[in-house]
Chain A
Amino acid sequence: MLLIPCPWCGPRDEAEFHYGGQAHVPYPQDPSSLTDEEWARYLFFRDNPRGPFAERWSHTAGCRRWFNAVRDTSTNEILTVYRAGEQRPVAFQPSPAHPARPAFEDEAVQAEGGPGGTAPSGVEGAQPLHEGKGRGGGGESTQPFRHPTRGRIHRDEPLTFTFDGTEYQGYKGDTLASALLANGVIQTGTSIKLGRPRGIFSAGVEEPNAVVQIEEPFPEPMLPATTVELHDGLVATGLPGQGRLATTPDPARYDAVHTHCDLLVVGAGPAGLAAASAAVRSGARVILADDQPEPGGSLLGTGELLDWVDETAARLDAAPDIRVLRRTTVFGYYDDNHLLAVERRTHHLGAEAPDHLSRERVWRIRARRVVLATGAHERSLAFADNDRPGVMLAASARTHLHRHGVLPGRHAVVFTTNDSAYATALDLTAAGVAVEAVVDTRPEPGEWAERARQAGIEVLPGHAVIATEGAPRLTAVTVAPYGETTGRREFAADLLLVSGGWNPVAHLFSQAGGKLRYDEELGTFVPDASRQAVEVAGGASGVFDLARVLAQGAAAGARAIETEGYTAEAPPLPRVPAHPQTPPMRVFTVPGREGAPRFVDLQRDVTVDDLARATGAGMRSVEHTKRYTTAGTANDQGKTSGVLASGTVAELLGVDVSALGTTTFRPPYTPVSFAALAGRDRGALSDPVRTTALHAWHVAHGALFENVGQWKRPWYYPRDGEDMETAVLRECAAAREGVAFMDASTLGKIDVQGPDADVFLDLLYTNMMSTLKVGMIRYGVMCRPDGMVFDDGTVIRLARDRFTVTTTTGNAAAVLDWMEEWLQTEWPELRVHCTSVTEQWATVALVGPKSREVLGLLAPRLAVANDDFPFMAWRDTTVAGIDARVCRISFSGELAYEINVSPWEALTLWEALHEAGAPYGITPYGTETMHVLRAEKGYPIVGQDTDGTVTPQDLGMNWVVSKKKRDFIGKRSYARADTARPDRKHLVGLLPEDPGTFLPEGTHLVAGGVLPEPPVPMLGHVTSSYRSAALGRTFALALVKGGRDRIGERLYAPVGDRLVPVTVASPVLYDPEGARRDG
């Protein structure tokens, strides 16, 4: 959502504005002096440059002012705005791109207790294992892979859940995946195309395999088991790669909340916590959003610094201006630092979720600055048979151990290209898992290998996994020197932990328009520069050393709020021992057993061979191989496979991966339910319902309603057992023979005031309004500059300088905007103002030969005789004791009045008319009867009988187009050759030869009684079609080529497989001499 700076109101959401096309295209001084070509150029031709473009906007939902903006059409950046009538500024600067993270010298924030991460602290093992919260308790006997003490699970809160029909036990704090692993279940389903067994592969949102269907408490398809918080009574099933939508409506509530902050920090890992804590006590409004139930991010998975995490979380929770959003995924990063996040508020409560809380909430966040601390995802490797249940990302196994106290297997082999997997090997060993070997592709793995050997783990440098065995679960791993097939060794293992390196989670940065660059050392893509006010910190920026991560986060947070004018303070940062570092090796594919699949995208079953087929077919871009193979298109969006796919394609093409790049990241980062996006805009609230002051009466009297725009208008009022046809015939007969009344309050009404009001209306309408006398009313038509009918209505002259004009119901806002556009942008010198008064008045149409008598009964002070109160006059009087403005207007050809009163008194008026008219059989009627009555008289309805290609002349209304006025909007176009063509479509009447045959609206019209071979020349189409009580037959209105010259001619209307003969007639089929108008 762009922020557009209104020159008056300041920055507002784009949705408040209306686009008005190219600026500085003035209405020609004298259109009549232009050639057709010049006029056509004004009408139809606009520039379409790439780059800065001056255009007009209107702040329609705000101050209603038109203004100009210079927008860069290639970036959508609004470069400057200026008021209507002002010169286009010559100088403006696009905002520069700035780096995702500044140079390190700027990040001199000192960690408390010493400089973070500068002094190596010697060779150590990995962090000591975190002791779990609470111990013992039953359950371990039924959860054979649960460590007795480790993890942050709540052992005092056991939970029962069901997976694939079997009941299991887990703990509060588990995910569905970790609880399954604790119970020895690793396979969760089969793959989508090949049906191969697949198991839990990760511990987070990147999960490609363990995608499950939740059955209870409410059906939800395709959720990664690694993100489903366990709750009591959860029922889930594994999926063959595809879920099932619920078949019953979702009873839960969903909502959305707008919020604003000085700083949004995405991710509450070490960098994010440090960034947010720099703002404590500063007064800056900060939001820290994290997708997990508790802050800590990667530290929860490594078991490091957990005391600092808890202390920091407590400080943030206590800070008045900091809002910590847990279980909240920021999934979209849009223009002008507008970010969307979804908070899962009650999922984890299961059946206990309270009804009054929304299940999910979409946060619409407008942030002055953003720090992305979204961490990194571990990458897999494409080796042979790398998809068996038991193959898992190395750091994920460590996470399952530290967070959930789960041992994902008993005998593990670790396969890595970098240092990070050693910590997993060491931690698992300490927890009792037998790590059979660390297989490292690097010939010299360095210090970490030494640490592993000291812990008794065999390290195989310069080796790779070339095959796996097991059905379904992994039972053995075969390794060989990297690149060779001899010298094999086989290890019995039920767990193979893989690390192919780390990919910064750059999704949001990329969505924001930020550019990525290839980092040679990391072998992956990292955030580079962006035009938005965003910085990236920690793993998301490609920095993995914990001390540097903390310092970087704190510095980024401090910089952000100081830019916004607040004073940051250095947050307490923990002392972190530095670890040795040996550069990673860039590996994507690993040769293996001949014919064994090497999966790149596990969720789409895409292998190296599939990608080879794509490059073999000529694909040279990852965007093309993605579409050819579907790699990266599953609902995990390739989080573990994207860079691997790029690397694989680069190898296949023999180019460097840096030249290939990645596919484009688009929102949402993780799948978001449609229900969450809809929020409360569904059901009865999906669109506003507009009602008149009389709505309750219509409902109480059985009206059926028609939607006209957002209005609910009475359609017809069926009496007991009546169908629509019968009811409408009855209502029409009452209006033609007795008296009937309808609620016409929805007509748009605009008060036009000022000394130049008549000049303005003369320019706006095709006919003359300045000659209208005070006290009188005139029908008028408005056209667009191209001469096509835009709206019609009546103009009531209240005073020399004041008019009320009416518009069609659906066009009220558009007409007012149209008036403002011309006044503000073309004719600012006219002293006239327009104000909507649509709801200031309620209007009742009183129609029929007996209407004068009924009005006379209620308006004793009004002289109702035709000579005293002629057609197209208006009078102020009282009706039923209520101040009223009565207009003699007819949309039916009958004697009729429109009575306007305050809506506060409308019900009193309506009921008085109902009572006074009772002796005459007064009948309420709806829009359908109104349409029939007007169609019998040939009165067109704009938008039904016109479609933006119809001139007043086409409608047979030459009389409404002034010949006297020098100019009005549309005039010049009537001299164009196209509008003067004799074969234009004219509005005519149609009479089916069989008076009972009804022509559906939209029916085409053709010339002959036998259809020729296609294409069949089309003469026109039916725009309105009704049964007429007055005519005793069906009839229609139609737009027909040269229609007025065809009156009396027979045409044919294909209806189903019949050709219905019809006769072209005048559109005025009832009372053509107008005898009924005066009663």
Chain B
Amino acid sequence: MADTALTVPLRSPLAHAAGRLAAVTRTSGGAVRLAELPFLTQVNVRLDPKGAAADAVGLALGLPLPVEPDTVVRAGEQTALWLGPDEWLVVGPPGGQRELESRIRDAAGDEPVSVTDVSAQRTTLLVAGPRAHDLLAHGCSLDLHPRVFGPGRCAQTTLGRTQVVLVARDDPGAGFWVLVRSSFAGYLTDWLLDAAVEWTG
């Protein structure tokens, strides 16, 4: 939808919080960096990983869909996140959902696949900086130590009192993506800002 309605300005779930997020980066002296990465393309893909569609879709995307649980595969600007044994989330730059959806459908041909545009279902928060781990550890029970949750890892879990998809970015210093349901994004932002007070003083 969004990529055709060019005349209407888009408003992201955390547009109202951009200033408060940027202030954390400033007042923490960079110890914690927070920002919304709005409008990322997100397409949910369901298919049989052993079926013919898996390889075809992988070829069409230019990246194999990861089969190891809780891992991601990246190629260029595209990232495929494992969400389940037959479920992936393909994330890319804003505006690509229609093209991506049809590319996957075309590749699958007659094989049964389900492809759903969920770009607006969740928004993405960047949580980075040397204290990113410590900040997330305030509300996430997973072991986020780089040895355990390094580049290439993702997880669906709970942060604070809401469900999120956590993605470790490629460079260990680059922090995390936190994908959160849009309706919970305001709550999670308030929660992150409160937890960051430790460093923003």
Which chain A residues have a beta carbon within 8 Å of chain B's beta carbons? 1, 8-10, 12-13, 15-16, 61-65, 253, 255-260, 285, 354, 356-358, 364, 366, 680-681, 684-685, 687-693, 695-696, 711, 746, 751, 753-755, 831-833, 835-841, 878, 880-883, 901-908
Contact A356 B85 (CB under 8 A): no
Q: How far is the CA of A754 from the CA of B112 in the complex (A)?
A: 6
Smallest CB gap from A831: residue in B: B112
**Inter-subunit contact B69/A9 (CB<8 Å):** yes
Minimum C-beta distance from B109 to chain A (A): 14
Q: Could you say which residues of chain B place their CB within 8 Å of the CB of A63?
A: 69, 83-85, 87, 156
Binds A, one of B18-26, B55-63, B168-176, B184-192: B184-192
Contacts of A685 in B (CB 8 A): 160-161, 187, 190-191, 194
Q: A356, B181: Cβ atoms under 8 Å?
A: no
With contacts A10-B69, A357-B198 known, what are 9 further pairs, Cβ within 8 A?
Answer: A9-B69, A16-B158, A61-B156, A63-B69, A680-B195, A690-B187, A833-B114, A836-B121, A904-B2
Which residues from chain B contact A680 at a C-beta distance below 8 Å?
138, 191, 194-195
Q: Which residues of B contact A684 (CB under 8 A)?
A: 190
Q: Is the pair B198, A356 in contact by a Cβ cutoff of 8 Å?
A: yes
Q: A258-B140, A688-B187, A907-B11 are in contact. Are A883 and B182 (CB under 8 A)?
A: no
User: Given that A357-B198, A753-B114 are known contacts, is A688 also in contact with B184, CB under 8 Å in the complex?
Assistant: yes
Residues of chain B lying within 8 A (CB to CB) of residue A751: 114, 116
Residue of B nearest to A260 (CB): B143
Nearest CB of chain B from residue A964's CB, rounded to whole Å: 27
Closest to A684 in B: B190
Residues of A within 8 A of B158 (CB): 15-16, 61
Quick one: given A16-B158, A65-B84, are A837 and B116 in contact (CB under 8 Å)?
Answer: yes
With contact pairs A62-B157, A688-B184, A840-B119 given, residues A253 and B197 touching in the complex (Cβ less than 8 Å): yes
- The answer to whether B183 touches A691 (Cβ under 8 A) is yes
Within the assembled complex, what's the spacing in Å between the Cα atoms of A840 and B43? 11
Whole-angstrom distance from the CB of A561 to the nearest CB of chain B? 15
Task: Give min CB distance, B8 to chain A, whole Å.
Answer: 5
Q: A364-B141, A905-B5 are in contact. Are A689 and B186 (CB under 8 A)?
A: yes
Among residues of B, the one whose C-beta sits closest to the C-beta of A690 is B183
Decide: A689 and B182 in contact? CB cutoff 8 A: no
Q: Could you name 11 residue pairs across A and B whose Cβ atoms are closer than 8 Å?
A: A8-B69, A260-B148, A358-B198, A680-B138, A680-B191, A693-B11, A695-B186, A835-B44, A839-B121, A840-B119, A908-B11
Name the residue in B83, B114, B121 with the highest tally of chain A Cβ atoms < 10 Å from its Cβ. B114
Q: CA separation between A690 and B156, bound complex, in Å?
A: 19
Given A688-B160, A835-B44, A837-B116, does the pair A62, B155 have CB atoms closer than 8 Å? Answer: yes
B163: A residues at CB distance < 8 A? 61
Q: For the complex, is B33 an interface residue (Cβ under 8 Å from A)?
A: no
Residue of A nearest to B156 (CB): A62
- Across the interface, B143 reaches (CB within 8 A) one of A8, A366, A746, namely A366
Contact A255–B195 (Cβ < 8 Å): yes
B177 at the interface (CB under 8 A from A): no
- The answer, yes or no, to whether B13 is at the interface (CB within 8 Å) is yes
Query: CA of A687 to CA of B191 in the docked complex: distance in angstroms?
Result: 11
Distance in angstroms from B111 CB to nearest chain A CB is: 10
How close is B2's CB to chain A, nearest CB, in angstroms? 5
Asked whether any CB of chain A lies closer than 8 Å to the CB of B76, the reply is no
Taking Cβ atoms with an 8 Å cutoff, the residues of B that contact A are 1-2, 4-5, 7-13, 16, 39, 44, 46, 69-70, 83-87, 112, 114-122, 134, 137-143, 145, 148, 155-158, 160-163, 181-184, 186-188, 190-191, 194-195, 197-198, 200-201
With A690-B187, A904-B11 given, is the CB distance from A833 to B46 under 8 Å?
Answer: yes
Task: Let me know if A837 and B118 touch, CB within 8 A.
Answer: yes
Q: How far is the CB of A219 from chain B (nearest CB, A)?
A: 24
A259 to B11, Cβ gap below 8 A? no
CB of A839 within 8 A of CB of B182, answer yes
- Chain B residues whose CB sits within 8 angstroms of the CB of A839 once the complex forms: 120-122, 181-183
B131 shortest CB reach to chain A, Å: 12
A258–B44 alpha-carbon span in the complex (Å): 30
Would B181 and A689 count as touching, CB distance under 8 A?
no
**Which chain B residues lie closer than 8 Å to A354 at the CB level?**
201
**Which residues of the partner chain B approach A695 to less than 8 Å between Cβ atoms?**
186
Chain A neighbourhood of B83, CB < 8 A: 63-64
| B11/A690 in contact, CB under 8 A | no
Q: Top 8 nearest A-B pairs by Cβ distance?
A: A753-B114, A833-B114, A833-B46, A690-B183, A260-B143, A904-B10, A688-B187, A839-B182
Residues of A within 8 A of B2 (CB): 902, 904-905
Q: Which listed residue, A8, A754, A835, touches B85 by the CB 8 Å rule? A: A8
Report yes or no: A903 in contact with B114, Cβ–Cβ below 8 A: no
A8-B85, A257-B138, A685-B190 known; A693-B70 Cβ under 8 A: no
Contacts of A687 in B (CB 8 A): 161
State whether B138 touches A692 (Cβ < 8 A): no
Q: Which residues of A contact B155 (CB under 8 A)?
A: 9, 62
Q: Which residues of A have CB within 8 Å of B9?
A: 908
Residues from chain B with Cβ under 8 Å of A908 in the complex: 8-9, 11
State the CA gap A65–B69 with chains docked (Å). 12
* Shortest CB distance B189–A (Å): 11
> Whole-angstrom distance from the CB of A377 to the nearest CB of chain B?
33
The answer for the CA separation of A15 and B161 in the assembled complex, in Å, is 11
| CB pair B118 A64 closer than 8 Å | no
Select from chain B the residue with minimum beta-carbon distance to A692. Answer: B183
Q: Which residue of chain A is the closest to B39 with respect to CB atoms? A: A904
Give bound CA distance, A354 to B200, whole Å: 12
CA distance A684 to B115 in the complex (A): 37
CA distance A285 to B144 in the complex (A): 13
| Bound Cα distance A681, B148 (Å) | 27
Shortest CB distance B14–A (Å): 11
Chain A neighbourhood of B162, CB < 8 A: 688
Q: Within the complex, what minimum Cβ distance (angstroms) separates A10 from chain B?
A: 7
- Rounded to whole Å, the gap between the CB of B106 and the closest CB of chain A is 16
Cross-chain contact A754 with B181 (CB below 8 angstroms): no
| A926-B16 Cα distance, complex, nearest whole Å | 23
Cα(A836)–Cα(B114), bound, Å: 13
CB proximity of A617 to chain B, nearest CB, Å: 47
Contacting A835 at CB < 8 Å: which of B118, B140, B195, B201?
B118
Residue pair B5, A882 in contact (C-beta under 8 Å)? yes
Q: Is the CB of B195 within 8 A of A12?
A: no
> Which residue on chain A has the smallest CB distance to residue B68?
A8
Q: How far is the CA of A257 from the CA of B131 in the complex (A)?
A: 13
A12 touches B10 (CB 8 A): no
Contacts of B120 in A (CB 8 A): 839-841, 902-904
Q: Which B residues are in CB contact (< 8 Å) with A754?
A: 112, 114
| In the complex, chain A residues whose CB is within 8 Å of the CB of B5 | 878, 881-883, 902, 905
Q: How far is the CA of A309 from the CA of B186 in the complex (A)?
A: 48
- Report the Cα distance A364→B117, complex, angstroms: 37
- Alpha-carbon distance between A64 and B155 when the two chains are bound, in angstroms: 12
Q: Closest approach, in angstroms, between the C-beta of B97 and any C-beta of chain A?
A: 10
Q: CB-CB < 8 A to A904: which residues of B?
A: 2, 10-12, 39, 120
Contacts of A64 in B (CB 8 A): 83-84, 87, 156
- A751→B157 CA distance, assembly (Å): 22
A residues near B161, Cβ cutoff 8 Å: 681, 685, 687-688
CA distance A684 to B118 in the complex (A): 28
Q: How far is the CA of A831 from the CA of B53 in the complex (A)?
A: 14
Quick one: closest A residue to B158, CB to CB? A61
Residues of chain A within 8 A (CB-CB) of B157 are 12, 16, 61-62
